[in-house]
Amino acid sequence: MQNLPVRLEREPLVDALFEVRVNPSSPLADVIPGFLMHDLGGDARITRLPAADLPFPVRKQDPNLQFAPLLRIEWENYFISVGDRNVVISCKMPYPKWPTFKAAILDILGRIAKLNPEGPVERYSLKYVNLIPATDYANQIGKVRMEVTLGDLSVSEQHISLQVHEKSADAIHIYNIVTGAKARTIEGKESAGILVDIDSIRNFNAPSLKELASNIDDGLEALRQENKAKFFSCLTEPTIAEMRPVI
């Protein structure tokens, strides 16, 4: 579609998160959470996550654990998860809309910049996870603009778990499409449908998180608009209309 919606009255979003990855001189989880708890004030709460019970040498050697969150801070409408090499900022639902989420990302990065942990930044990313309700596989597949043929099989009512990597000029967009997905709404009800998950990643070579915090604004905005356009390009016009877009 030519004009992207400003908002959707029927929001299919179930998760939205920002992540930055670093190659630090010491584990980020050793320094950032304590500093943030002090800086954010009394309303912040911290939780120790299961991966924190594994010794650091084990986490360091296992690629699947290098970016596992170790501690999670709950602050206002956000969660801040910190691992050995990354910081993840995610929203509580309902989604507060992009301008508010972006302001929170910049605020939290600015706070971390005051600590200025040593180590170069490798990348940052935005990931939006949407669950579009539909009953059976055929109806779910019909929600998206997708044609899948495998040998003599034209996929139209089968279970699909599909991942596609697309390179643009300065980013990588990872599409995950899964039928038969389930999630709980903010009212606690279980919803089923097709998952449309787009992870937009920008490699960003900066000497420190402080440098990233002072230079990310325009790039973050551009990455969000790319991610948003990719999502709507996946959907059929009737699917978009069902979401009641406000242009």
Per residue in 59-93, pLDDT tens? 999 998 999 999 999 999 999 999 999 999 999 99
Asked if residue 24 has pLDDT above 80, the reply is yes
Mean pLDDT along residues 112-126: 95
Mean pLDDT along residues 221-239: 97
244 phi-psi bin (left φ>0, alpha ψ -120 to 50, beta other):
left
Count of alpha carbons within 13 angstroms of residue 244, beta-carbon side: 3
124 against 169, higher pLDDT:
124
Mean pLDDT along residues 101-122: 96
Tell me the per-residue pLDDT of 32-68, one tens digit each, with 9 for 90 and over. Answer: 999 999 999 878 999 999 999 999 999 999 998 999 9
User: Rounded to whole angstroms, what are the CA distances from 56 to 64, 65, 83, 116?
Assistant: 13, 10, 11, 22
Tell me the per-residue pLDDT of 128-139, one tens digit each, with 9 for 90 and over. Answer: 999 999 999 999
Structure tokens at 162: 């599909």
Cα angle 197, 227, 214; round to 5: 120
Of 73-82, 179-188, 198-207, 217-226, where does mean pLDDT reach its minimum?
Answer: 179-188
Structural domain boundaries in the chain: 13-241
DSSP codes, 134-149? -SSHHHHHTTB---EE
Is the separation of the CB atoms in 53 and 70 below 8 Å?
A: no
Separation between Cα atoms, residue 150 and residue 172, nearest integer Å: 25
Write down the pLDDT at residue 187. Answer: 64
Please name the residues in contact with 222: beta carbons below 8 A apart, sequence gap of 6 or more. none
Structure tokens at 197: 């998950």
CB-CB neighbours of 77 under 10 Å: 14
Beta strand 118-133 with 71-75 is: unpaired
Mean pLDDT along residues 1-23: 91
